[in-house]
Amino acid sequence: MKNKSHGVNVGSSSILLIFVLLTLISFAGLSMISANADYILCKKTAAHSNEYYDACNEANLSIASIDTTLMSLYQSGLNKDAYFTEAGEMISYLIPMNETQALQVELKVLYPETPDNGFYEISTWKVITTQQPEYDNSLDLLFE
């Protein structure tokens, strides 16, 4: 009588090894693509944050200049009506951030009871879209 062994053949273990290697290579490729997309998004977010904070710094410089002007108007001894005639009720300006966005700042001018009180109140501080952005709808393919 012949003994028959019912073990795993050498060919089936090689096929299993090839299948495992192919899945590992696929997951490695997918993780590289995901990491690259995250890196690109991170760079865009950092650039947008820098643009925003640069615009905020410029707005704060403008506010400091406006505060100095309003203080000199107040100290010149103008009455309330003359003060608002000279300064206006609202001061509004835009600071460009990039081609499609700007920082909008609106200040409500106040007539303080004492010079220690504020000369303005910030009523609007927001990012607005100045023109419609162009979206990239292309699809990057490995083979064209």
Listing from the earlier edge strand, what are the strands of the sheet with 120-129?
90-96, 101-109, 120-129
Q: What is the pLDDT of residue 128?
A: 94
Length of the chain: 144
The amino acid at 30: L
Q: What is the pLDDT of residue 112?
A: 87
pTM: 0.71
What are the tens digits of pLDDT across the range 109-121? Answer: 999 888 788 899 9
Which residue would you say has higher pLDDT here, 16 or 1? 16
How are beta strands 90-96 and 101-109 bridged, if at all?
Answer: antiparallel
Residue 70: helix, strand or coil by DSSP?
helix
Q: Which two tokens stand for residue 90?
A: 């609202």
What are the tens digits of pLDDT across the range 34-55? Answer: 999 999 999 999 999 999 999 9
pLDDT category of residue 1 using cuts at 50, 70 and 90: low
